[in-house]
Structures are given as C-alpha cells and as structure tokens.
C-alpha cells in the first residue's frame, strides 16, 4: 500500500498542468530587488556635475555684473538704504516663491535659531560688500577678496570632517589665496577701510555656506534662502535705524539718508533679482548637491568676470566711466597684475573642481540610496 501511494503521488505530480507547475516554481523562488527598490528615499536624483558647474558660473557672473553696476550707482546713494531696499524686496520675492512651492512662510520652531544665524551671515555679507564698493568704486578689488571663502570653508570643513583633506583641494585653495594676495597687494587705492569691508564680507559669505549645509538637509533650498533673507532684512533695518538715529552717514555727498537717485534703480533691480533671488536660491541648490568647498571655490571665478565686466562698461562709455577720466560715477579699471592674479585663481578653482570630481567617483553611494531589505535575499 505504501508503494502504491508513493507511485500515485508521483503520477499526480507529473500530470500537473505546465502553467500550474511554473507558477508554483516562480512563487517559491527568492525575490530579487528591482530598480524601484534602489530609488532614493527622498525622490531626489543626483544631478550631473556639469549642471552644478553651470549654475556656479551663472552665480559668479551675476555677482560680477552687480559689482560693476553698484560701483556706478553708489556715489550718491546711501549704502545702507541701498542694502535695506534690496533685502526687503528680495525677502518678499523669495517668500512668495517659496509659498508657491508649498513651503511655509516662517521656519519651524526648531529651525529658527539656525535661520537667524544664516540671516546674520547674509546681512553681514551684503551690507559690508555694498559699503566696500561705496568706499572704493572698485569691483575688481571686491571680487578679488571672494577667493578667501574657499580657504575658510575648506579649513573649517576639514576640521569638522565634512570634507576629506584631499591634496587637490588643498593645492586649489592655496593657489586661489596666492592670486588674491597678489592682486590685493596692489589695490592700495581702494583704501584700508574698503579692503576691511571686503575681507569681512568674504568671511561672512564663507560662514553662510557652512551654516547653509545643515539647513538644506532639513528644508528646501528656496525656503532656506527666503527665511535667511527675511532675517537679514530685519538685521539690516536695525543697523540702518541705529546709524540714522545717531546721525551717522556713510554718504556725505547724499542729500539725506533716504537718497536713492534714478540712476541707482537699475543697479538696485539687478541686485534684487539676480544677485539676491536667483543667486542665493541657486547657491542653496548647489550646496545641497555638492559640497560647501566647491560652491565657495567657484567664487574665485568672480575676479576675471568682474574685470571683464569693468572693461566692457568702460568701453561702452567711451572711457568716460573710468575713474580719473572725470567726476561722478566711475569704475576702477583692472590692471595687468589683476590678470596674473586671476590666472592663479582660476587654476585654483580647476584644482578644487578636479578633486571634487575624483572624490565623487570614488565615494560610496549617498545615504539616501538605501537597499530595501527583501525576504529571501541575504
């Protein structure tokens, strides 16, 4: 009987329909992870490097054009009034765009202190840059101080273990620093006060990059920029009110604290739309998709871009816009040593960018790309 039962089951198994047998076999196979299981958990796909580089180039070009425009617009404009109008308008535009994207108008309670620090950095960067341009009318000197940002950011990032001390990164920031020193040493005409403003603005800009990295991990880049500029506008308003109350003016030739001549409004519009809204939203986008060192190292492109923009402005005016050619608005023309310094700076940027590319190629996959555990797979 036992043998008969064995052969009966054997015959039944052989007589099963082929489709039923294949279905049974498929159901008993171990599951394999598919492409959907390896999707990013936050639905953010990595961006191609050339997209980030193009955004960084656009940021620096906007800053360079804005520096030349401000140098022409600030001789009869109170710099703090210029900065206040710019930051209030920029905060409103960025907040409106953030609301359209579904972001809250105010930061969450747990992020307000972080946003306040970010706003303080943005306020210091903008006010000091505008005051320095007012004192010197030299966009090239202002731009040549920007390579101090990657030096500060790279050093602090390495100390905090955000970035690895790669040889290419170190060589890049050293070359950028040498170029900055070469040019700044010859810009005595800008004055010690202007150089101090430019140096402090560069340090504040580096701090902004460092503080923005943890901020963009929690919130959308456009929301971070909107909240930061809202706090920056409050800080600028308090600073301007304190100076106005004390009767201190940074523009002796201005008729009043609120003096903004008609020729200053195009420059103000450029700073609001391009140098603020577009640039800081792009900067947050780039910081989220790269590293603070790369974003700040791109500021070394600003000196050659500012020099070219200054030469174009002088050429379009027939030489009348050059300082020393007449009275009133002027732009300081770049020198040959500025060109040498710019070459050193560009070499530094290329070295940092190359180290970033090699680091990205050898790095482990980002944390957001997690492998979903599947039953039956070790």
Please tell me whether the overall predicted TM-score, pTM, comes out greater than 0.85 for this model. no
Residue-wise pLDDT for 1-21, tens only, equals: 555 555 555 544 554 554 454
367, pLDDT greater than 80? no
Three-state DSSP at 331 gives strand
Residue with tokens 């039956």: 376
More confident residue, 227 or 71: 227
Nearest to 290 by CA among 163, 180, 172, 122: 163
Residue-wise pLDDT for 244-300, tens only, equals: 887 777 777 777 777 778 888 888 899 888 987 788 778 878 877 887 667 877 877
Where are the strands (E) in 222-264, listed by range? Answer: none
Residue 357, pLDDT score:
62
Nearest to 178 by CA among 351, 357, 56: 351
Cβ atoms of residues 198 and 128 within 8 Å:
yes
Residue 36, pLDDT score:
41
Residue 225, pLDDT score:
84
Q: How confident is the model at residue 373 (pLDDT cuts 50, 70, 90)?
A: very low
What value does the mean pLDDT of the chain take? Answer: 73
Q: Residue 322's beta-bridge partner residues?
A: 331
What are the residue boundaries of the structural domains of the chain, listed by start?
Answer: 46-358
Q: How confident is the model at residue 334 (pLDDT cuts 50, 70, 90)?
A: confident
Nearest to 63 by CA among 348, 274, 293, 316: 274
Pairwise CA distance, residues 162 & 368, whole Å: 17
Two tokens at 55? 């955004």
Nearest to 251 by CA among 73, 77, 83: 77
Q: How confident is the model at residue 120 (pLDDT cuts 50, 70, 90)?
A: very high
321, pLDDT greater than 70? no
Q: What is the dihedral of CA 71, 73, 79, 82, to 10 degrees?
A: -130
Cβ atoms of residues 139 and 332 within 8 Å:
yes
Residue-wise pLDDT for 123-160, tens only, equals: 998 888 888 888 777 777 777 777 766 666 666 676 67
119, pLDDT greater than 80? yes
Residue-wise pLDDT for 165-192, tens only, equals: 677 777 877 787 787 677 666 555 556 6
Residue 59, pLDDT score:
92
């Amino acid at each position: 009987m036992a043998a008969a039962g064995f052969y009966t089951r054997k015959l039944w198994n052989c007589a099963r329909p082929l489709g039923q047998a294949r279905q049974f076999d498929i159901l008993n196979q171990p599951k394999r992870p598919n492409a959907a299981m390896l999707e990013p958990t936050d639905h953010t796909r990595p961006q191609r490097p050339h997209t980030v580089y193009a955004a960084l180039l656009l940021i620096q070009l906007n800053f360079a054009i804005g520096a030349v425009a401000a140098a022409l617009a600030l001789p009869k404009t109170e710099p703090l009034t210029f900065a206040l109008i710019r930051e209030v308008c920029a905060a409103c535009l960025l907040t409106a765009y953030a609301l359209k994207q579904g972001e809250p108008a105010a930061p969450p309670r747990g992020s307000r202190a972080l946003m306040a620090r970010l706003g303080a950095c943005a306020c210091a960067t903008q006010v000091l840059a505008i005051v320095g341009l007012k004192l010197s009318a030299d966009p090239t000197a202002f731009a040549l101080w920007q390579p101090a940002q990657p030096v500060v950011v790279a050093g602090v990032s390495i100390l905090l273990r955000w970035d690895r001390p790669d040889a290419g990164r170190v060589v890049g920031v050293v070359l950028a620093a040498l170029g900055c020193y070469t040019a700044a040493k010859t810009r005595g005409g800008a004055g010690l006060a202007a150089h101090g403003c430019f140096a402090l603005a560069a340090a504040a800009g580096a701090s902004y990059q460092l503080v923005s990295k943890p901020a963009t991990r929690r919130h959308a880049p456009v929301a971070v920029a909107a909240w930061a500029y809202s706090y920056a506008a409050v800080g600028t308003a308090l600073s301007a009110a304190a100076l106005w109350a004390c009767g201190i003016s940074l523009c002796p030739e201005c008729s009043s604290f609120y003096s903004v001549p008609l020729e200053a409004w195009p420059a103000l519009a450029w700073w609001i739309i391009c140098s603020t809204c577009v640039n800081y939203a792009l900067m947050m986008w780039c910081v989220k998709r790269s590293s603070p060192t790369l974003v700040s190292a791109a500021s070394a492109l600003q000196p050659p871009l500012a020099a070219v923009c200054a030469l174009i402005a002088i050429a379009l005016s027939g030489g009348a816009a050059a300082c020393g050619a007449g009275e009133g608005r002027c732009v300081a023309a770049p020198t040959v040593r500025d060109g040498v310094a710019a070459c050193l700076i560009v070499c530094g940027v290329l070295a940092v960018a190359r180290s970033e590319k090699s680091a990205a190629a050898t790095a482990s996959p980002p944390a957001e790309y997690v492998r979903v555990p599947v039953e039956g797979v070790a």
